[in-house]
A = this chain, B = another copy of it.
């Protein structure tokens, strides 16, 4: 009832009478009033004016299953939502749900993450309630060797969603960091459980710094938040929905060919490394060169003085991206 009422109030965008709501949902006035009360307790500002009805005045930046479901515009992404106030790691929870047989598109969202996971088993401290911590479960019938490309699909979705919501560019640092003004605003951790030739499931974990006003000193040079870059506090539920919408769209393109051939152009347009000097670190012999975009398989093309090289994984250090617009 809460979810439906919220959706109706948002859709109306004006006063909607109690009578109308009763008829719409086939419930009593008391039931409507009860749901309004619950929403108010959850932080929504709902005006009630005699002879006019209810109108939603302000939506709290609070994540909840109801809030997320009430604005859902996707077909399958976020079909089932598991929201937690605090969670050790949304990826860990998503993997548990996937093992238990949850459907593809299941979304885990937390308001706060205690023991976030970084790449290569490193731990990752998440600031309290200042961001988005979400993990999407996928069960595609694809070759496990192609699964790593999905992390680039996710990067594309987050980059597009942030740019759309804020009106500011949010570029991709290959393969899957999102940066604003050269500083990292989002990290993505994709994990897969697979058999020889069969994907059990893939979890795509996305962490976005949204409201942070400061960062610990050791990160202040390299990390930023949407608030720090734009001066505005964006609604997190809306941003999550935009990420899911974009992900669905790009995922469909990916699945057509099971590679990135239909997405290379847009990815390269968002790639902050494009035509810049990069240093490839995680290799037996580190080297430098000019990044020339990605291949349809997600490798980074790097031109050195001698030759063209393809970088398929590892950490790439990017120089000179400050001032990127």
Contacts and interface: CB of A to CB of B under 8 A. Distances in A.
Interface of A: 92, 95, 99, 119-121, 143-145, 148, 151, 175-176, 189-198, 200, 282, 313-314
Contacts of A151: 196
A119 B198 contact: yes
A195 B191 contact: yes
A209 B65 CA distance: 48
10 contacts: A95-B193, A121-B198, A121-B200, A144-B148, A148-B196, A176-B196, A191-B194, A191-B200, A192-B194, A197-B314
Contacts of A189: 195
Given A92-B99, A95-B99, A99-B95, A190 B196 contact: yes
Contacts of A196: 119, 148, 151, 175-176, 190, 313
Contacts of A92: 99
B195 A193 contact: no
Nearest to A152: B196
Nearest to A119: B195
Nearest to A92: B99
Contacts of A143: 313
A266 to B, nearest CB: 20
A140 to B, nearest CB: 13
A186 to B, nearest CB: 16
A195 B190 contact: yes
A321 to B, nearest CB: 21
Interface centre among A119, A145, A195, A314 (most CB of B within 10 A): A195
A192 B190 contact: no
A120 B119 CA distance: 27
Contacts of A95: 99, 193
A273 B190 CA distance: 37
Report the 5 A-B pairs with minimum CB-CB distance, sorted nearest first: A197-B313, A120-B198, A193-B193, A148-B196, A192-B194
A92 to B, nearest CB: 7
Most chain B C-beta atoms within 10 Å of own C-beta, residue among A99, A151, A191, A197:
A197
Nearest to A195: B191
A120 B195 contact: yes
A144 B197 CA distance: 13
Given A189-B195, A197-B282, 10 more contacts: A95-B193, A119-B198, A143-B313, A144-B148, A176-B196, A190-B195, A191-B193, A192-B192, A192-B193, A192-B194
Nearest to A96: B99
Contacts of A197: 120, 148, 282, 313-314
A270 to B, nearest CB: 18
Contacts of A176: 196
A110 to B, nearest CB: 18
A216 to B, nearest CB: 24
A194 B192 CA distance: 5
